[in-house]
């Protein structure tokens, strides 16, 4: 079987190698799974480059989620049958064409769009949890987000629209407005001076109770000015590369509540019932295509260099998927 | 009657004036109260100087709390009798020797230490609310605070000790340790490099769940390093004059939660039952002297210039009280 691996940190296109390992049959309690699709996320590239909050143990196989098909079951495995699709949930190291691992690393996949389901556990789950875990939002409420055209941002728009929640979406380029509105965005604004005034005008002075910020820096400060009393601003990235100042005046006089969000920790610590409930809320929407993650391109494992280069390219429009097995 | 007033912003000792106004009898629903004691707080001085978050409407009489004695009741007033002590709670403009105002601006004072009760509504209430409104603390839990020898800091120490909560107290000078430990401080540390390591050593690696910061700047960043996963850090001042950076790494990887606290807003928005419950929790401790605010000195209204100069002096050890009426 083929595995993508890195044994030193560096530029992903340089340090990733495709290795061939001997095949093996599943042992007791294990299943053997053909990988159908597994996405390349920015966090994967950061970890390979040594720039992620959690360091990889070397050598390491990247990849945190995907979908596969059971091709062999080990002794004592009764909950899975050959031919059944499974989500690669927690098994880790998914950039390979086959995985043999204990059943605990998988979740039965529902029928539905295989490629969309291969990407459910990271970006849609981030959007879902940020929309549910910080503020009790009701239909008609308003939220605001930066990096609105990112994979998480577009999923926030779609999940919010499903619930009748209004979104203010901050982008860097005016021409993104059309596609975001097609996804269900209520308001799209271009980042820059007078952001708060323009948001106020576009929303009719709405009381914005929750913000998602993946940019940090000056955008973070401008977003705070758009918020209502007691609002939370959840930071889940810093694309600008700049740390904002803590806005003490806004925290003290407007009770603005800065928070962080890290999906990896949620997967490590949430109890199984909580995880199942979150997945149960998301799966029907994703499997049916009611919410979608854009796909830019697909690559076989043999083209891993091209794949990670494309995933890091600025002109990319959607996720890059590895599709190790023709399906 | 005599009133301290400022009609322009500036250095308090320069702009405050003592004026004499004609006396008047209380109208329907009003009482006339002799002011016995009213404290000078840093926030008063900042507002007179025009440096406070909420601007004063000029001309303005400073002072937000105090205690007085009813000397006359207006028609229809049955809940107060002449000779009874009352807290000046919400009446505003307390730096005067007499107040005539509707009964809603007062609260019956319990028997007990008059000077301590005159200062209950600001610093002890701040300490009480910060200890109750952010994290559900239990006996044996740990908190940490900067400016531990401030009036609020010393009240935090005493209220926490009453509840069996352990306190780590950050000070700038080693010699403060003795007096803070006498108040009930569990650990006292001097601010500076390696703060987190020293706190870890002094507490046996305690999981610190809540921090109160009145300093901001570098102290704020050092405090964050001492905190456990999911801890809240409540900022209620910025004595350093420096805004800290938002620590995105700590917010995302350790779920550190920065919050602000502003007592004035709580008084404006909390419902009457909430306020009564908070006061009921505090009053027995303050009236009985189980918790105490240090008093540096007392001045009559005629020495208002000396009083505010002393209140702003660095060598001050406790609150400066105005005592308009000999009692």
B55 touches chain A (CB under 8 A): no
B178 touches chain A (CB under 8 A): no
Question: Are the beta carbons of A161 and A222 closer than 8 angstroms?
Answer: no
B247 touches chain A (CB under 8 A): yes
B259 touches chain A (CB under 8 A): yes
Catalytic residue among B52, B80, B229, B267: B52
Residue A327 has pLDDT above 70, yes or no: no
Q: For the residues A102-114, what does the mean pLDDT come to?
A: 92
Please compute, for residue B72, the number of CA atoms within 13 A of its CA located in the half-sphere on the CB side: 14
A251 touches chain B (CB under 8 A): yes
- Would the CB atoms of B265 and A248 count as touching at under 8 Å? no
Neighboring chain A residues of B249 at a CB cutoff of 8 Å: 53
Write out pLDDT tens, residues A301-324. Answer: 999 999 999 999 988 999 999 999
A246 touches chain B (CB under 8 A): yes
For chain B, which residues make up each domain, given as ranges?
A: 2-119+293-322, 130-263
Write out pLDDT tens, residues B96-155. Answer: 999 999 998 899 999 999 999 999 999 999 999 999 999 999 999 999 999 999 999 999
Neighboring chain A residues of B247 at a CB cutoff of 8 Å: 243
A256 touches chain B (CB under 8 A): yes
pLDDT at B92: 85
What confidence tier does B159 reach under pLDDT thresholds 50, 70, 90? very high
pLDDT at A326: 61
Structure tokens at B233: 């850090």
What secondary structure letter does DSSP report for B34? E
Partner-chain residue, chosen from B54, B248, B258, that has the shortest CB–CB distance to A216: B248
Instruction: Please state which CATH class domain B2-119+293-322 belongs to.
Output: alpha beta
Between A72 and A105, where is the model more confident? A72
pLDDT at A135: 97
- Would the CB atoms of B257 and A262 count as touching at under 8 Å? no
pLDDT at A53: 74
Give the gap in angstroms from C-alpha B312 to the nearest C-alpha of chain A.
23
What confidence tier does A268 reach under pLDDT thresholds 50, 70, 90? confident
Portion of chain B with pLDDT greater than 70, in percent: 99
Structure tokens at A238: 């810093």
Report the residue of B260, B262, B265, B268 to disrupt the A interface, i.e. the one with the largest count of A CBs within 10 Å.
B260
Q: For the residues A68-95, what does the mean pLDDT come to?
A: 94
Partner-chain residue, chosen from B54, B251, B265, that has the shortest CB–CB distance to A259: B251
A2-119+293-322 shares its CATH topology with A130-263: no
**Which residues lie closer than 8 Å to B120 by C-beta, 6 or more apart?**
B65, B87, B279, B282, B283, B286
Predicted ipTM of the assembly = 0.82
Please compute, for residue A274, the number of CA atoms within 13 A of its CA located in the half-sphere on the CB side: 11
Neighboring chain A residues of B263 at a CB cutoff of 8 Å: none
Structure tokens at A133: 């875990």
pLDDT at B320: 97
The span from the CA of B192 to the CA of A262, in Å, is 30
What confidence tier does B56 reach under pLDDT thresholds 50, 70, 90? confident
A51 touches chain B (CB under 8 A): no
Q: For the residues B212-234, what does the mean pLDDT come to?
A: 97
Q: What is the dihedral of CA A303, A309, A312, A313, to 10 degrees?
A: -120
Residue A214 has pLDDT above 90, yes or no: yes
**What are the start-end ranges of the E strands in B129-198?**
142-145, 166-171, 187-190
pLDDT at B53: 74
**Which residues lie closer than 8 Å to A159 by C-beta, 6 or more apart?**
A124, A127, A128, A131, A285, A291
A259 touches chain B (CB under 8 A): yes
Instruction: Indicate which residues of A carry an active-site annotation.
Output: 52
Between A104 and A145, where is the model more confident? A145
What confidence tier does A241 reach under pLDDT thresholds 50, 70, 90? confident
The span from the CA of B39 to the CA of A141, in Å, is 43
Full DSSP string of A28-96: TTEEEEEEEEEEE-HHHHHHHHT-SSSPPPSSB------EEEEEEE-TT--S--TT-EEEE-S-----B
Question: Are the beta carbons of B281 and B139 closer than 8 angstroms?
Answer: no
Neighboring chain A residues of B259 at a CB cutoff of 8 Å: 251, 255, 257
CATH of domain A130-263: 3.40.50.720
Partner-chain residue, chosen from A238, A251, A254, that has the shortest CB–CB distance to B248: A238
Neighboring chain B residues of A255 at a CB cutoff of 8 Å: 259-260, 262, 265
Average pLDDT, chain B: 95
The span from the CA of A309 to the CA of A61, in Å, is 17
Residue B54 has pLDDT above 80, yes or no: no
The owner of tokens 């322009």 is B8
- Would the CB atoms of B246 and A251 count as touching at under 8 Å? no
Give the gap in angstroms from C-alpha B243 to the nearest C-alpha of chain A.
6
Neighboring chain B residues of A247 at a CB cutoff of 8 Å: 243
B256-265: string of b/e by CB count within 10 Å (b at 16+)? bbbbbbbbeb
């Amino acid at each position: 079987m083929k595995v993508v691996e890195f044994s030193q940190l560096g530029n992903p296109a340089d340090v990733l190698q495709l290795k061939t390992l001997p095949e093996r049959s599943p042992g007791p309690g294990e299943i053997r799974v053909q990988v159908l699709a597994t996405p390349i996320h920015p966090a994967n590239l950061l970890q390979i480059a040594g720039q992620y909050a959690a360091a990889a143990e070397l050598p390491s196989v990247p990849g945190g989620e995907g979908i596969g098909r059971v091709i062999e079951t080990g002794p004592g495995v009764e909950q899975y049958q050959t031919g059944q699709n499974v989500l690669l949930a927690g098994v880790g190291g998914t950039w390979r064409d086959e995985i043999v691992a204990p059943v605990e690393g998988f979740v039965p996949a529902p029928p539905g769009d295989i490629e969309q389901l291969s990407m459910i556990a990271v970006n849609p789950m981030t959007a879902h949890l940020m929309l549910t875990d910080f503020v009790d939002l009701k239909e008609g409420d308003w939220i605001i987000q930066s990096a609105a055209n990112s994979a998480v941002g577009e999923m926030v728009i779609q999940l919010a629209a499903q619930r009748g929640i209004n979104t203010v979406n901050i982008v860097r380029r005016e021409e993104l407005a059309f596609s975001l509105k097609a996804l269900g965005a209520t308001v799209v604004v271009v980042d820059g001076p007078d952001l708060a005034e323009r948001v106020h005008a576009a929303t009719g002075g709405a009381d914005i109770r929750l913000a998602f910020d993946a940019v940090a820096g000056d955008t973070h400060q401008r977003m705070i000015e758009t918020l209502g009393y007691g609002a939370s601003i959840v930071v889940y990235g810093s694309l600008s590369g700049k740390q904002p100042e803590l806005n003490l005046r806004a925290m003290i006089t407007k009770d603005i509540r800065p928070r962080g969000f890290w999906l990896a920790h949620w997967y490590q610590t949430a109890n199984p019932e909580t995880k199942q409930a979150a997945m149960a809320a998301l799966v029907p929407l994703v499997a049916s295509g009611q919410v979608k993650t854009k796909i830019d391109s697909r690559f076989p494992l043999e083209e891993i260099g091209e794949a990670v280069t494309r995933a890091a390219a600025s002109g990319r429009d959607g996720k890059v998927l590895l599709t190790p097995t023709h399906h």
